[in-house]
Structure 1
Amino acid sequence: MKSRAFATAAAITAALFLTALLLSACGTGGQAAAGTSGDEADGTDRAAGGGETLTVRIGYQKYGTLNILKADGRLDRRLAERGIRVEWTEFPGGPQLLEALNVGSIDFGHTGEAPPIFAQAAGAPLVYLAHEPPSPRSEALLVPKDSDIRSIADLRGKKVALNKGSNVHFLLVKLLEQAGVGYDEIETVYLPPADGRAAFESGKVDAWVIWDPFFAAAETATGARILADGTDLVHNHEFYLGERSFVERHPDVVEIILEEAGKIDEWAKDHPQELAELLSPQLGIDVPSLELAAKRRRYGVQRVGAEVLEAQQRIADTFRELGLIPVDIRVEEAMIRPAAGD
Structure 2
Amino acid sequence: MNNKSFFSWGRWLKTAAVLVAVTANTAFAESKAWPKEVSLGYQKYGSLIILKSTGNLEKRLQEKGVAVKWAEFQFGPPMLEALNAGSLDFAITGETPPVFAQAAKGSPLVYVANEPASPQGEGLLVKADSGVKTVADLKGKKVATAKGSNAHYFLIQALAKAGLTLNDVNLIFLAPADARAALERGDVSAWSIWDYFYAAAELQLGTRTLTDGEGIVNNYAFYTSRREVAEKYPELIAIILEEVGKTDAWIKDNPAAAAEQLAVNVGVDAKILEKALHRSNYGPEPIKPEVAAAQQKIADTLLDIKLLPHAISVGDAVWQRK
Instruction: Give the TM-score, by structure 1 length.
Output: 0.82
Q: Which residue of 2 aligns with 1:301?
A: 284
* CA deviations over 1:3-24 (Å, ceiling 9, x no partner): xxxxxxxxxxxxxxxxxxxxxx
Q: Which residue of 1 aligns with 2:252?
A: 269
* CA deviations over 1:233-277 (Å, ceiling 9, x no partner): 111000000011111111111000000111111110011110011
8 Å Cα contact 2:49-2:265 kept in structure 1: no
1:75 aligns with 2:75: no
Tell me which amino acid in the other structure corresponds to 1:238: A
Q: How does 1:120-269 map to 2 (within 5 A)?
A: 120-123=102-105, 124-269=107-252
Q: CA deviation at 1:81?
A: 2.6
Q: CA deviation at 1:53?
A: 6.3
Q: Give the number of aligned pairs.
A: 288
8 Å Cα contact 1:54-1:84 kept in structure 2: yes
3-state DSSP of counterpart to 1:302: coil
C-alpha change, 1:144 and 1:91, in structure 2 (3 Å) is same
Q: Which residue of 2 aligns with 1:332?
A: 315
Q: Which residue of 1 aligns with 2:95?
A: 113
Q: Partners of 2:103 and 2:49 in 1: how far apart?
A: 27
Q: Partners of 2:212 and 2:48 in 1: how far apart?
A: 24
1:59 aligns with 2:16: no
Please list every run of 5 or more consecutive structure 2 residues that lacks an aligned counterpart in the other structure. Answer: 1-33
Q: CA deviation at 1:333?
A: 1.0
3-state DSSP of counterpart to 2:144: strand
3-state DSSP of counterpart to 2:219: coil
3-state DSSP of counterpart to 1:160: strand
C-alpha change, 1:53 and 1:110, in structure 2 (3 Å) is closer
Q: Partners of 2:35 and 2:296 in 1: how far apart?
A: 38
Q: Partners of 2:152 and 2:170 in 1: how far apart?
A: 13
Please list every run of 5 or more consecutive structure 1 residues that lacks an aligned counterpart in the other structure. Answer: 1-51
C-alpha change, 1:73 and 1:224, in structure 2 (3 Å) is same
8 Å Cα contact 1:71-1:279 kept in structure 2: no
* CA deviations over 1:73-97 (Å, ceiling 9, x no partner): 2112211232211100000111010
CA-atom RMSD, angstroms?
A: 1.2
Q: Which residue of 2 aligns with 1:5?
A: none
C-alpha change, 1:254 and 1:320, in structure 2 (3 Å) is same
Q: Which residue of 2 aligns with 1:47?
A: none
Tell me which amino acid in the other structure corresponds to 1:278: Q
Q: CA deviation at 1:336?
A: 2.6
Q: Partners of 1:240 and 1:328 in 2: how far apart?
A: 22
Q: CA deviation at 1:300?
A: 1.1
Tell me which amino acid in the other structure corresponds to 1:71: S
Instruction: Give the TM-score, by structure 2 length.
Output: 0.87
Q: Which residue of 1 aligns with 2:17?
A: none
